[in-house]
């Protein structure tokens, strides 16, 4: 399991890698030289960043219950940043592999959007984002003859679509 410090409000540039002991997992180093951490990593650990990540982990653990409750409430409300997946898969037209692994069918996974919220995201921003998203989806549905067909109970999968 890999962890990136900036995902828990630590400065960018530090992370951690957990490798289980049993069953043993073979990991190849990404950079050669140095031989630190039994040859898995090279280079000197940035001590201030590592200490900062430790402190960020302690804060995250201490606030986990509160944050979980707050985020659950916020998810039922509105506002945030939106994408169709993570930044590292933004150029891909494939549906989210995470949603597929969770059992979401391919069509639904292709129509998903991702909202990112954090500890410091105000509820007002979330409300606004949800309102704007719902409004935009309604506009797109009004323009779509396919949505009208689905509303009438027509199964779009039953069509053989022509390729251009």
| Domain assignments of the chain as residue spans, ordered by start | 1-27+39-68
What whole-number distance in Å separates Cα of residue 86 and Cα of residue 92? Answer: 10
Predicted local confidence at residue 55, as pLDDT: 93
Q: Does residue 83 register a pLDDT over 60? A: no
User: pTM to 2 decimals?
Assistant: 0.48
Active-site residue (options: 88, 101, 143, 162): 88
The pLDDT of residue 30 is above 70? yes
Q: C-alpha 161: how far from its chain's center? A: 32
What are the strands, taking DSSP E only, across 18-155? 81-83, 114-116
Strand 2-4 versus strand 15-17 pairing type: antiparallel
User: pLDDT tens digits for 127-161?
Assistant: 888 888 888 788 878 877 778 888 888 887 787 77
pLDDT for position 57: 92
Task: Look at 90 and 118; give whichever has higher pLDDT.
Answer: 118
Given a cut of 50, is residue 80 above it in pLDDT?
A: no
- The residue-averaged pLDDT of 65-94 equals 59
pLDDT for 70: 64
Answer yes or no: 88 catalytic: yes
């Amino acid at each position: 399991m890999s962890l990136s410090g900036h995902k828990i409000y630590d400065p960018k540039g530090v992370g951690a890698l957990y490798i289980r002991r049993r069953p043993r997992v073979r990991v190849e180093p990404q950079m050669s030289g140095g031989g630190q951490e039994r040859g898995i990593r090279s280079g000197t650990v940035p001590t201030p960043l590592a200490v900062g990540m430790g402190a960020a982990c302690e804060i995250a653990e201490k606030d986990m219950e509160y944050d979980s409750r707050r985020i659950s409430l916020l998810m039922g409300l509105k506002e945030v940043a939106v994408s169709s997946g993570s930044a590292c898969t933004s150029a891909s037209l494939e549906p989210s592999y995470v949603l597929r692994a969770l059992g979401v069918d391919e069509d639904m996974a292709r129509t998903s959007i991702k909202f990112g919220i954090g500890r410091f995201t105000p509820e007002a921003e979330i409300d606004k984002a949800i309102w704007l998203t719902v409004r935009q989806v309604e506009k797109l549905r009004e323009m779509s003859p396919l949505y009208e067909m689905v509303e009438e109970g027509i199964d779009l999968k039953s069509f053989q679509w022509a390729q251009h």
